[in-house]
Amino acid sequence: MVQTYSISELSEQFDITARTIRFYEDQGLISPRREGTRRIYEERDRVRMKLILRAKRLGFTLSEIRETLDLYDSASGGELAQGKFVLEVINHHRAILMQQQNDILDVLQDMKNVEQRILNRMKSPEQKAQ
């Protein structure tokens, strides 16, 4: 017997509203099984949701996410026709992510600098930076 979830259970797990989940479905990001009119989410839906939210945190738009998930699905579904294209998309995304890694490192460094200036000033309040 496989674990399934209602929409409210899922929304609780991921700390999003049910409205959001239904919206994602409207946008073609997930398509849970139905039992009558009720939505039933299985493990694969949960995994997909996890991917969606992760991509969102990284700033991808919902339609970008949908396209990418569809693409990966087709690739893992055996549609090797588009193999080369998928590889290109992957490399494109990889480039974006690596740019973000750099951005993060830069910002972390900036924050470190600001932090140090504050800490210094808190130790010796009189000191004015040259």
CA distance 94 to 73: 18
Burial 78-99 (b: 16+ CB within 10 A, else e): eeeeeeeebeeeeeeeeeeeee
Q: What is the dihedral of CA 27, 29, 33, 38, to 10 degrees?
A: -50
Q: Which of 39, 46, 48, 86 binds DNA (CB under 7 A)?
A: 39
Complex with DNA: residue 29 or 86, whichever CB lies closer = 29
List interacting residues with a second copy (CB under 8 A): 51, 54-55, 57-59, 72, 75-76, 78, 80, 83, 86-87, 90, 93-94, 97, 99-101, 103-104, 106-108, 110-111, 114-115, 117-119, 121-122, 125, 128
Q: Which residues bind DNA (CB under 7 A)?
A: 6-9, 16-20, 22-23, 27, 36-39, 56, 61-63
